[in-house]
């Protein structure tokens, strides 16, 4: 299959800064590529647009499958557009294990939002990255900021460790919950609750309104047990209906209040600076892993010992240590 012709660095940068959606999509695809030539080109593009980033409000949205994330995000996005904001949605989709591509797409979800010219929706395959968060989500987020989007919504598949990964790249972390799905307290994961800046009981409509109010009280009481957040913000517990839009206005009010607080006390920029350092450290790990597995001697030893580890004849730890030592010695030898 012939690889699509890449644009020049200048063409990518000009298109992104003009808000050209086609070129924005192509630039994100470039960032997601595993080809070294694409990655080097992508690095240049990112360096060129970096000074135009950082001006959006980054909101992470998570919750278990079935909680109604897509419906909520669509209605929330439409509300923000009505307020005059440009909204980008980075939706991390479950990956097909055969094709490694997205199973879902923006045309099968958030149909109304995807048709609005002031919105941009980008589904990305989760792949094998931590908790289903695309390895290049940060780059996609920054490109959307450079393209002029005011609010970036990052949706996760809501399983595994995705909450941790997303909370480390956003300004505001929103956790969607359901009422009437069993004992609410049993459904609280301490780590996730500690990370969230707002806990929203979704699907508070029809016969479920009373259950949602009850769940809100339970969650509110539970949040009092947690220590004060470094940001100085007290997480809010709210109810909403992603279907009707009820309660969405209050959610945005909470986001706005949060932003005002953390900007005034200095936490906003301290957190952004911390995230930039984490991004660098994660990329170092990614690059090291890539170079490691591309090493010819590492590949040879791995292929020769693979079956022994699978059958239990050799310890996985022992092979891992042998591989790393071989790689280090090879690097030292090459330097000499």
What's 31's domain CATH number? 1.20.5
Q: In the structure, what pLDDT confidence band is assigned to residue 331 with cuts at 50, 70 and 90?
A: confident
Compute the distance between CA of residue 78 and CA of residue 119 in angstroms, rounded to an integer: 9
Residue at 276 is within a domain: no
pLDDT at position 158, please?
61
In a shared domain, residues 17 and 98: no
**Neighbour tally for 307: CB within 10 Å:** 10
In a shared domain, residues 22 and 81: no
Residue at 290 is within a domain: no
Residue at 275 is within a domain: no
Query: What's the pTM value of the predicted model, to 2 decimals?
Result: 0.87
Number of structural domains (the chain) is 3
End position of a domain, from candidates 218, 248, 265: 265
**Neighbour tally for 159: CB within 10 Å:** 14
In a shared domain, residues 6 and 107: no
In a shared domain, residues 97 and 48: no
Q: CATH code at 214?
A: 3.40.50.300
Asked if pLDDT for residue 185 goes beyond 80, the answer is no
Tokens 């940068």 belong to residue: 13
228-275 confidence digits (pLDDT tens): 899 999 999 999 999 899 999 999 999 999 999 999 999 999 999 999
Q: In the structure, what pLDDT confidence band is assigned to residue 221 with cuts at 50, 70 and 90?
A: confident
In a shared domain, residues 162 and 228: yes
Residue at 300 is within a domain: yes
* Most confident of the ranges 40-54, 81-95, 193-207: 40-54
pLDDT at position 256, please?
98
pLDDT at position 113, please?
93
End position of a domain, from candidates 11, 29, 52: 52
Asked if pLDDT for residue 334 goes beyond 90, the answer is no
In a shared domain, residues 127 and 227: yes
39-74 confidence digits (pLDDT tens): 999 999 999 999 999 999 999 998 877 888 989 999
Asked if pLDDT for residue 108 goes beyond 60, the answer is no
90 strand-pairing partners: 122, 154
Entry field: residues in the chain? 336
Q: What angle do CA 108, 110, 111 make, to 5 degrees?
A: 70
Residue at 316 is within a domain: yes
**Phi and psi (nearest 5°) for 5?**
-65, 130
CA distances from 208 to 101, 144, 188, 202, 203 (A): 36, 37, 20, 10, 7
In a shared domain, residues 161 and 260: yes
Tell me which DSSP letter residue 130 carries: G
pLDDT at position 165, please?
76
In a shared domain, residues 131 and 236: yes
Asked if pLDDT for residue 154 goes beyond 90, the answer is yes
In a shared domain, residues 61 and 167: yes
Asked if pLDDT for residue 102 goes beyond 60, the answer is no
In a shared domain, residues 159 and 241: yes
Q: What is the DSSP string of 243-309?
A: TT-TTHHHHHHHHHHHHHHHHHTTHHHHHHHHHHHHHHHHHHHHHHHHHHHH-HHHHHHHHHHHHHH
In a shared domain, residues 251 and 306: no
φ/ψ region of 119 (left if φ > 0, alpha if ψ in -120 to 50, else beta) reads beta
Residue at 201 is within a domain: yes
Domain with 299 in it:
295-335
- In sequence order, the 6+-apart residues with CB closer than 8 A to the CB of 155 are 61, 62, 69, 70, 73, 89, 90, 91, 92
In a shared domain, residues 220 and 322: no
pLDDT at position 326, please?
92
Residue at 278 is within a domain: no
**Neighbour tally for 121: CB within 10 Å:** 24
Please choose, from the candidates 240, 236, 241, the residue with its C-alpha nearest in 3D space to the C-alpha of residue 261. 236
Residue at 90 is within a domain: yes
Asked if pLDDT for residue 281 goes beyond 60, the answer is yes
pLDDT at position 189, please?
61
pLDDT at position 224, please?
81
End position of a domain, from candidates 52, 80, 95: 52
């Amino acid at each position: 299959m012939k690889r699509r012709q890449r644009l020049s660095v200048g063409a990518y940068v000009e298109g992104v800064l003009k808000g050209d959606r086609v070129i924005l999509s192509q630039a994100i695809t470039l960032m997601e590529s595993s080809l070294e030539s694409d990655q080097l080109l992508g690095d240049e593009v990112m360096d060129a647009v970096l000074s135009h980033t950082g001006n959006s409000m980054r909101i992470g949205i998570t919750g278990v499958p079935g909680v109604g994330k897509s419906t909520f995000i669509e209605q929330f996005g439409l509300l923000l557009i009505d307020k005059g904001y440009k909204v980008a949605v980075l939706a991390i989709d479950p990956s097909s294990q055969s094709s490694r591509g997205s199973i879902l797409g923006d045309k099968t979800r958030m149909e109304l939002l995807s048709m609005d010219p002031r919105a941009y929706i980008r589904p990305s395959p989760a792949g094998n990255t931590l908790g289903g968060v695309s390895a290049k989500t940060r780059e996609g987020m920054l490109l959307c900021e450079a393209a002029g989007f005011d609010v970036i919504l990052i949706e996760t598949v809501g399983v595994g460790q995705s909450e941790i990964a997303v909370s480390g790249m956003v300004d505001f972390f929103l956790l969607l919950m359901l009422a009437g799905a069993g004992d609410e307290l049993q459904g609280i994961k301490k780590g996730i609750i500690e990370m969230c800046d707002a806990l929203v009981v979704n699907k508070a409509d029809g016969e479920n309104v009373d259950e949602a109010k009850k769940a809100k009280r339970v969650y509110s009481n539970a949040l009092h047990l947690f220590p004060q957040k470094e940001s100085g913000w007290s997480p809010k517990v709210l109810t909403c209906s992603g279907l009707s839009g009820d309660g969405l206005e209050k959610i945005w009010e909470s986001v706005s209040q949060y932003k005002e607080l953390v900007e005034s006390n200095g936490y906003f920029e301290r957190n952004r600076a911390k995230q930039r350092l984490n991004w660098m450290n994660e990329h170092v790990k990614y690059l090291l892993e890539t170079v490691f597995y591309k090493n010819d001697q590492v590949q040879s030893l791995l292929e020769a010992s693979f079956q022994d580890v699978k059958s239990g004849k050799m310890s996985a730890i022992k092979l891992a240590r042998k591989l790393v030592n071989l790689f280090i010695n090879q690097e030292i030898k090459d330097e000499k």
